[in-house]
Amino acid sequence: MKRIRKEEWRQDVKETLEPSTLMFRAMADKVYLEEYTKGEAIIVSGETLTTLRYIIEGKAKISIVHEDGRESIVDFLGKGDYIGDLTFLEMEKRTKDVAAITDCRCLCVPMNEAIVFLREDNDFLLSLSKYLADKHLRRTWFYVKGLRYELKNRLAAYILMTSDGSIYYQKHTMTAEFLGISYRHLLHTFKIFKENGWIRKEKNGYWFDKEVLEELAKDIIY
Amino acid sequence: MKRIRKEEWRQDVKETLEPSTLMFRAMADKVYLEEYTKGEAIIVSGETLTTLRYIIEGKAKISIVHEDGRESIVDFLGKGDYIGDLTFLEMEKRTKDVAAITDCRCLCVPMNEAIVFLREDNDFLLSLSKYLADKHLRRTWFYVKGLRYELKNRLAAYILMTSDGSIYYQKHTMTAEFLGISYRHLLHTFKIFKENGWIRKEKNGYWFDKEVLEELAKDIIY
DNA sequence: GATTATATATGAGATATCTCATATTAAGGG
DNA sequence: CCCTTAATATGAGATATCTCATATATAATC
């Protein structure tokens, strides 16, 4: 991880970032930048969080390790997501694991000062409420719908959710962990997708037939 | 539904309620009371919400009807839950069905005025954020854990969650809808619970062995 | 380039869960 | 009290999904 104080920001970076710091407006002078490389741990579960982060670039995953040692991916994070919001609100008993999936850049402020300044900032609280409401809605929707549909549909939704353009490039192991199914069964369903011509292996991932998958996923995505 | 303006509150009611109106402090003079009877609809899906409610007594359920006509229970609400919070934040595309499971009493304020006054109220926004974070955490936890465990464990958690004391009295149809499983399979698992002596039918519901169920559910409940 | 670890892939048998069919009991309406 | 509807209950066969075993391909390491 590389930490870059605001004074050190290159001019062009600064201009790009300045607008993104709006949500930390009440403490704009305290903002700094962090850069993580692919695979790096951002938070180790159980540690005390001293930083409130906001992702401006890259993708990360939240995961937990179960008692039996296996791992579940709880959620994916990307541009516009907070890391540490639940600690900021003093609602999380124990922090979870957060790791960068791709290179990531985060805007950061010290947690203890955030608690002092941002809790007085009406605009921040409103936007945080909206952010949480949105997360909750999507999660609930995916949960309720997911229970009703079989893997075929959830997988289609997942492929669409995690891809930009028409290439899917997630690791199967990760997909299985997120969807909460066995690796074996995922592969089985994947095979069916291939046989139906809905996806096709390419050099850098899988091409997929957007129309077909959208039809399969249409009831699941909020 | 019975609507009771603040001036009409009986003295004793008033004293009991006064502290509960705190969250609407910024518009205390606008608060009124609504009383719903068991089974009554509080919100019909798709209708425009003109009221922000806060439950001070009773239980309700949020549900949606799927394209195939079947119903899913999305969540249960009780004392301390808001109804209309997502509309207040302008995040919900379409309201869901909300119905009283038992007699309910709600504190109410007009939505349009709430949007004016409460969005300026720092304390309200902070407590709303915490409320949403808590909801999101619990839901995520139940989802992630639920995927990993079979019905036996989720059912144990559900029985504990929906009961006060040692009597479980939910309708099986409702339980199946919430857990997202077939009625048939629920009954099958219920039978196993009975055979193991974990639950026993009584006149007004099921007695259950709290210790055993807590052991079964221990990894699922947040 | 050889070696190890990780990701992908497939098969076979076990089990959780679903669908459909049907019977009995409890609850609500005239 | 009869009638209708909703809730409870059980059986049998189908299918979705899991576990375990094993093989190959790809990526990381020395």
Average pLDDT over residues A76-87: 94
Measured between CA atoms, the residue of chain A closest to residue B130 is: A89
Residues B91/A137, Cβ–Cβ less than 8 Å = yes
DSSP state of B171: -
Q: Which nucleotide is nearest to A169 (CA to C1')?
A: C7
What is the interface size between A and B, counted as CB pairs within 8 Å?
A: 97
Note the pLDDT of residue A159.
92
Q: What is the pLDDT of residues B152-168, one digit of tens each?
A: 899 999 999 888 678 89
pLDDT of res. A19: 64
pTM: 0.90
Residues of A in contact with B66 (CB under 8 A): 148, 219
Is the CB of B205 within 7 Å of strand C? no
- The residue with greater pLDDT, B147 or B197, is B197
| Res. A12 pLDDT band, cuts 50 70 90 | low
Strands B2-4 and B82-83: unpaired
- Please tell me the predicted confidence (pLDDT) of residue A186: 95
Q: Which residue would you say has higher pLDDT here, A28 or B85?
A: B85
Is A111 in contact with A87 (CB distance < 8 Å)?
A: yes
- Tell which wins on pLDDT, B81 or B180: B81
The answer to whether B217 and B164 have CB atoms below 8 angstroms apart is no
Q: Is the pLDDT of residue A96 over 90?
A: yes
Partners of B220 on chain A (C-beta within 8 Å) are: none
Partner residue opposite A144 with nearest CB, options B74, B91, B126: B74
Among B89, B56, B58, B61, CA closest to B74: B61
* Distance between CA atoms of residues A144 and B179, nearest Å: 9
Mean pLDDT, residues B103-114 taken together? 93
Residues of B in contact with A139 (CB under 8 A): 136, 139-140, 143
Query: Starting at the edge strand that comes first in sequence, how are the strands of the sheet with A51-57 ordered?
Result: A2-4, A32-36, A104-110, A51-57, A82-83
